[in-house]
Structure 1
Amino acid sequence: MKRFQLMQRVNVEGLYGVVQEALPHLKARAGGSAESAGERRGARSIVVCPPIYSRFFRGKTAYAIGKVGMSVLVKGLGMDFERERLVEQGLGIAGLWPAVAIESAATEQFTSKDPSYAKDLRKPTIFSDAVLAMLRVPAAVVNGQLELDEDFLRKQAGITDFSKYSVVPGATPRRIMPAELPDLTVKEQDDEGMRVDSSRL
């Protein structure tokens, strides 16, 4: 139970706390005076969290609870930013997740035992390139979205050749994420019902 609680405190509670503390500064940056005429400086929060789909839960339910909790925060805050007209001021929040496993301290436990595992890994630079691409597009493009690094770079940066990111030159790493993801919206998406500030109840 302690391990489960720690994981939720780091993933969900930790993210919530960081966003809560950062939000006033991000709002000030988004709504502040432009550095040059006609430009908004904008502000982004980019969260390392996955798209929401059923297979993600399999074999790692406790971990998935925390990571999907982070994804829910991205979706929910994204809707709030839109409703409060903050997106048009340049404020946005998005989730980003790797489409292919990335070389990291976590993957070293596999490659140290079996070096052939490296053929299914990409360099971390694909993730940093995707983050930079998210910072360069208008807030409305990414706000509330849960993106995959490869797919986002293909759509927004026009990258089609990902071979430079392979840890093993010439290898074609196995994609671990689905090619298509479910749309979570419903027909009644814009029906808010009665708005209530629960903190005042």
Structure 2
Amino acid sequence: MAKNSLESLSADAFANRTVLMSGGSRGIGLAISIALAERGANIVLLAKTDTPHPKLPGTIHTAVDEIQESGGKAVGVVGDVRNVDDVQRAVDTAVSTFGGIDIVVHNASVINEAGTADLPLKRYDLMQGVNVRGMFALTQAALPHLVKSPNAHILSISPPLNMSPHWLGKFPAYTLSKYGMTVLALGFASEFAAQGIAVNCLWPETTIATAAVKNLQVDPEAASHAREPEVMADAAALVLARSAAETGECLIDADVLTGHGVSDLSAYGGVEPLDYDFYVDR
């Protein structure tokens, strides 16, 4: 977490609030979990990473350990967001362990940058299943509990709807899945506004130096021009601490932080020139 980036939040800003997150074994999801746990949140992770990836550090079990070491309470549920039984088990675990659900973060996501001619239908189905169907399923299952929360939030890690032909034509299948998440979020925001549930999207301005970027990119310099995951974590904490009346927005992490008086983002790393993320025009 960048020094002084969250001065506006109290140390117990998320006390007695329970967060249900898809994914979160590493990277942005884990960073968000830690940022919220440090301020009192209970965290429930639904993720598949029961055993270590050969090239990527971290499992759902090590993530729970890190969250607890940061001062929060956490439970991991090994499962697939595409599986309705796993989703319900995660919801039931949150309710039985912590008494309810106040925040849902749709963090799990599959990326494949292949063009239309080169993308196997199996990979297409995986992206739509995890990114879009998974978001719908987890929201639907958590909804009966979110409506009971005094300040309920849903946060989708998905981009603004940039309809530039450049982005629409770059990798249409992946774009469909991520824009699908955003469309669902905006639809939920309208649908659930009267029930007091805020639904917003958050997306990084720049690429993020996750383990995947550091270990799997062909370009060894890619991670050096990316910000650290804490930039998304701090922005997410600020968004989720707001009133549920603030809903239906597609937000960029840097804009959230600068809007809260964080004028210098250099603490989040990244060597100039920074690499802008997908769907963010320079």
Task: Provide the secondary structure at the position in 2 that maps to 1:164.
Answer: helix
Contact 2:231 2:268 in 1 (8 A): yes
Letter of the structure 1 residue corresponding to residue 244 of structure 2: A
For the residues of structure 2 that align with 1:59 and 1:29, how far apart are their CA atoms? 40
- 1:105 pairs with one of 211, 215, 230: 211
Q: Corresponding residue for 1:57?
A: 168
Structure 1 length-normalised TM: 0.72
The unaligned stretches of length 5 or more in structure 1 are 31-41, 180-201
Asked if residue 93 in structure 1 is aligned to residue 213 in structure 2, the reply is no
Letter of the structure 1 residue corresponding to residue 212 of structure 2: A
Q: Corresponding residue for 1:29?
A: 149
For the residues of structure 2 that align with 1:153 and 1:125, how far apart are their CA atoms? 11
Pairwise CA distance, 1:116: 2.5
**How many residues in Structure 1 have an aligned counterpart in Structure 2?**
157
Letter of the structure 1 residue corresponding to residue 266 of structure 2: S
Letter of the structure 2 residue corresponding to residue 175 of structure 1: Y
Contact 1:163 1:172 in 2 (8 A): no
Q: After the TM superposition, which residues 1-201 of structure 1 pair with which residues of structure 2 at under 5 Å, given as runs? A: 1-30=121-150, 42-55=151-164, 56-82=167-193, 85-87=194-196, 91-108=197-214, 109-110=216-217, 113-141=218-246, 143-155=247-259, 157-168=260-271, 171-176=272-277, 177-178=280-281
Task: Provide the secondary structure at the position in 2 that maps to 1:58.
Answer: helix
Contact 1:119 1:172 in 2 (8 A): no
Task: Provide the secondary structure at the position in 2 that maps to 1:102.
Answer: coil
Seen in structure 2, the aligned counterparts of structure 1 residues 7 and 174 have a Cα distance that, compared at 3 Å, is closer
Which structure would you say has the larger Rg? Answer: 1
Seen in structure 2, the aligned counterparts of structure 1 residues 21 and 52 have a Cα distance that, compared at 3 Å, is same
Structure 2 length-normalised TM: 0.53
Pairwise CA distance, 1:167: 4.0
Contact 1:166 1:173 in 2 (8 A): no
Letter of the structure 1 residue corresponding to residue 149 of structure 2: R
Greater helix fraction, Structure 1 or Structure 2:
1
Describe the superposition over 1:127-185 as per-residue Cα deviations: whole angstroms up to 9, x where unpaired: 100110011221222x1111111111112x221110000145xx452333126xxxxxx
Task: Provide the secondary structure at the position in 2 that maps to 1:68.
Answer: helix
For the residues of structure 2 that align with 1:54 and 1:124, how far apart are their CA atoms? 26
Letter of the structure 2 residue corresponding to residue 174 of structure 1: D
Contact 2:203 2:251 in 1 (8 A): yes
The unaligned stretches of length 5 or more in structure 2 are 1-120
Contact 1:52 1:68 in 2 (8 A): yes
Describe the superposition over 1:92-132 as per-residue Cα deviations: whole angstroms up to 9, x where unpaired: 1111111100011331222xx44322331000000100110
For the residues of structure 2 that align with 1:10 and 1:126, how far apart are their CA atoms? 24
Task: Provide the secondary structure at the position in 1 that maps to 2:192.
Answer: helix
Letter of the structure 1 residue corresponding to residue 152 of structure 2: A
Q: Corresponding residue for 1:182?
A: none
Q: Corresponding residue for 2:33?
A: none
Contact 1:125 1:165 in 2 (8 A): yes
For the residues of structure 2 that align with 1:2 and 1:119, how far apart are their CA atoms? 33
Contact 2:209 2:224 in 1 (8 A): no
C-alpha RMSD over aligned residues: 1.6
For the residues of structure 2 that align with 1:167 and 1:152, how far apart are their CA atoms? 18
Greater strand fraction, Structure 1 or Structure 2:
2
Task: Provide the secondary structure at the position in 1 that maps to 2:199.
Answer: strand
Letter of the structure 1 residue corresponding to residue 207 of structure 2: A
